[in-house]
Chain A
């Protein structure tokens, strides 16, 4: 304290008397700024002084402004999470909004978790939308991740009017499709050539080339195919072949087929109407009739039935669904398509007859055979080559589409009970934006369903009876009371507008962070001392000044780190230590030049000024290139490297200031004191 007082007294005397007032003022300014910065770095000493003052004199001064260092995750422990938001279901123009919604919701969640200064940011990398979450000092990271992950995804969707319309392929997709199909065609042509060659083994070719897994093992044999059976599409082509003949390429949108006819047989097809009376317990029966009553009823109907009234009887009585429309008409059918007792009866009857009562697993039938025709059945083998269709590439249009109304616009959720059924429900209340949106959605969907999706699943699809303008909605999804409570709680804590997934995490334990702080402080101190010792040994008096300037520099930089604030990471501290090493570079340049000037015999004062003037361009240029590198690093890199780039560039900029003002002022201040005391102190070897 005394020293400082004397210093100020000395300064005061000279202030108005000497032309060096300007230098003094500068030094005083530097001292004041540095002392303030020092207090900001480490307020304890100031506070102790204030306490002491209070005790001894009773003068109460406020304690110094406390500003903590902002430590990065690697120094205090914590986690850095990157989530990717799936915005594919959302129109491009709404994506920014949706992502902001995600950010708000996660922020709310994270705040509830009690983390100090959580960082939640959104970024866009190429086509993907990201949310970055940084939780510093969080104890239980997995719990935090779970909480964010459990954030419900709530969406209101309306029906897609475009379902089923053709979607358009991109040029790339179309090219892939065309290429694939061209290759399929080429293969098909080769296979056809082989199949038509003399002595060709069609079955072996089918085994080798057919893409139909169901039939390739049996050599492509489809058995006898009929006009109405499973393979009816191939019937006409098969009919054109002679036995033993091979077809050409039969191409459709889905595939290319090659057929070989192996046998033909005559068969017949029948056409009939039927009447069904089923009993409770028969297959697919919804009737309450007992089997006995059913039998009684069908016997009565059999007694009434004639060719003329059969269809009307069916329409009035048949328990077959839709019979009142179809009149029980089964159309043409061949063998193997109906259950055995039914088929046997129908094929045995004559055209125009009504059968006896036939019992099947479906109930009692009466059959009226209306027609019969002779047909041929063809036994064919088939080689199938698969093609791609645009439908396979494009997913079918979504049934439900984005409306813009999501968990983002939710203000409140609470458990309610349905006034009619007393079932628990979750009542939702929207904010103004949500109210407006919900009004619009319900207005344009009157009479249509609107779906409420929770975590990607439709849990409630109410039909809109009238527009809802009050901004409230109800989710009713067969909840139990605890389920409804939990859902309401989760929704109240925030609901996401789009799904998110965790794609990157960096977690650092608090213990490792503390170790790192201790280590990097040690490294910083050792680095600083090493530089100081070197400078004093090599440059002597100016070296001592530069050591002092370096100490001032360190104090100022640390204060700046607090003020900006710069988030300190391990790499950041390495950057700071590096900047200490670089900061004296400017001094080295100046002192080397000073030595040269002194050697040329200039007096100390003008040599000092000249040295600064000459060294400045080098100092400026040297720092410029380092700054360029830092700038690029800052733009392009991860948060860890950003810390390094930021501390290094702050250091580099301040070191120029330090060289220009601090070291220079010191040198100018002391130069007159050593004017005639030789140049040894300035590191110049005396030549004689």
Chain B
């Protein structure tokens, strides 16, 4: 049997510091939002003779494109982002680039008006809120039965905390990636966060269910509360790890071989779902024991 509860403070400190680092990263650098949230244009091109980023940048500035950012893709590609342009301007730009830099192939063009961006932003916020409410309702339902010695609502609170950890750290990670590598937070990222919320909550609930079951079997032997919890974690250990592992295997395949446009979507899912397993094993039950200890200590005083 692995002694997880014994090192409870260690696990909680690791998780806590990661969450704190995420909060710092987000407040320091913020998130770099994609054009589907801010509005703007995105143009992916393949050049026969690719110009340097600097050449392209100065040329685009001369052309009159605003707020340009350029990112090389692969060997011959370039990803350009700039302020929303209309179709006429877009065609002019393509013609201009072909005249200036020789053959150029347009692989992708997106131009999203500011109204659409604003709508998507609102929608994203709504969907996160709605999913959170649904999940919290679900948690309340899952722990509706009264149990002893720990009140049901405490299980629920800890499950919610674990969820915040699961989505908080990916958000922090994307703040870092956004700052250093220009990785953007777009609607796919929001989808990833929602999927993490839906997927990760279950492991925690399963562990707690097992804990409550074992507490009932133990029949009032609450002196060994931490031992019972540790046993429960161990009983569900393989299950938690394996369900997560199979899902991660599939996601890693998408990350490495699924192509550029779903790469960071897969990364967000990998990190979030991986953390979901961590939180159900190393956060939820240790936190439960810690909370119980604190209340017991208070009661004794």
Contacts and interface: CB of A to CB of B under 8 A. Distances in A.
Interface of A: 74, 82, 84, 125-126, 128, 141-142, 145-146, 149, 502-509, 511-512, 515-516, 519-520, 522-524, 526-528, 530-531, 534-535, 538, 570-571, 573-574, 577-578, 580-582, 584-585, 588-589, 592, 596, 618, 621-622, 624-630, 632-633, 635-638, 640-641, 644-645, 648
B256 A625 contact: no
A621 B261 contact: no
21 contacts: A142-B91, A145-B87, A507-B109, A509-B106, A511-B105, A527-B250, A527-B252, A527-B254, A531-B246, A574-B266, A577-B250, A578-B269, A580-B250, A581-B247, A592-B242, A622-B206, A629-B194, A629-B195, A629-B197, A641-B191, A644-B188
A107 B254 CA distance: 36
B259 A638 contact: no
B195 A626 contact: yes
Given A530-B250, A632-B131, 16 more contacts: A128-B115, A505-B109, A506-B108, A508-B107, A511-B105, A519-B257, A520-B259, A526-B253, A527-B254, A578-B254, A588-B242, A625-B138, A629-B131, A636-B123, A636-B127, A637-B187
A84 B44 CA distance: 25
Contact of A628 (B36, B138, B242): B138
A592 B258 contact: no
A40 B188 CA distance: 31
A509 B77 CA distance: 13
A669 B111 CA distance: 57
A241 to B, nearest CB: 54
Nearest to A637: B187
Contact of B134 (A505, A524, A531, A632): A632
B47 to A, nearest CB: 14
Contact of A621 (B109, B110, B205, B269): B205
B112 interface: yes
B229 interface: no
Given A82-B116, A505-B110, A625 B191 contact: no
A658 to B, nearest CB: 14
B271 interface: no
Contact of B194 (A516, A592, A633, A638): A633
Contacts of B269: 578
Nearest to A142: B91
B135 A625 contact: yes
B119 interface: yes
A574 B254 contact: yes
B87 A519 contact: no
Nearest to A74: B261
A507 B254 contact: no
A512 B249 contact: no
A531 B249 CA distance: 6
B46 to A, nearest CB: 8
B81 to A, nearest CB: 14
Contact of A504 (B44, B116, B142, B188): B116
B245 interface: yes
A588 B202 contact: no
A571 B264 CA distance: 11
Contacts of B262: 520, 570-571, 574
Range of interface residues on B (Cβ < 8 Å): 35 or more
Interface in B39-55: 44
Given A149-B87, A636-B126, A503 B115 contact: yes
B57 to A, nearest CB: 23
B36 to A, nearest CB: 7
Given A621-B205, A628-B135, A629-B131, A502 B258 contact: no
A530 B243 contact: no
Nearest to A636: B127
Nearest to B119: A125
Contact of B257 (A506, A522, A589, A645): A522
Given A526-B257, A618-B202, A628-B198, A592 B127 contact: no
A581 B108 contact: no
B238 interface: yes
B130 interface: yes
A183 to B, nearest CB: 30
B120 A589 contact: no
Contacts of A125: 119
Among B124, B249, B252: residue with most chain A CB under 10 A: B249
Contacts of B87: 142, 145-146, 149, 502, 505
B247 A504 contact: no
Contacts of B256: 523, 526
Given A504-B111, A505-B110, A526-B253, A637 B261 contact: no
Given A523-B254, A632-B194, A509 B107 contact: yes
A632 B258 contact: no
A512 B253 contact: no
Contact of B120 (A128, A571, A638): A638
B243 A508 contact: no
A523 B191 contact: no
B248 interface: yes
Contact of B239 (A149, A531, A582, A588): A588
B250 A126 contact: no
Given A145-B87, A636-B127, A512 B258 contact: no
B113 interface: yes
A126 B191 CA distance: 23
B187 A641 contact: yes
Contact of B261 (A516, A588, A589): A516
A522 B107 CA distance: 21
B155 interface: no
B199 A516 contact: no
A577 B235 CA distance: 29
- Pick the most buried of B119, B134, B206, B247: most chain A CB atoms within 10 A of its CB: B247
A580 B86 CA distance: 41
A104 B254 CA distance: 40
B172 to A, nearest CB: 21
Contacts of B254: 520, 523, 527, 574, 577-578
B25 to A, nearest CB: 25
Contact of B202 (A502, A570, A622, A640): A622
B173 interface: no
A624 B134 CA distance: 11
A142 B92 CA distance: 11
A507 B110 contact: yes
A524 B194 contact: no
B247 A648 contact: no
Nearest to A141: B109
B253 A644 contact: no
Contacts of A582: 199, 246-247, 250
Given A503-B113, A523-B254, A626-B195, A621 B142 contact: yes
B201 interface: yes
Contact of A534 (B44, B123, B135, B249): B249
Nearest to A510: B107
Interface string B86-103: 110011000000000000
B109 A506 contact: yes
A502 B87 CA distance: 8
B278 interface: no
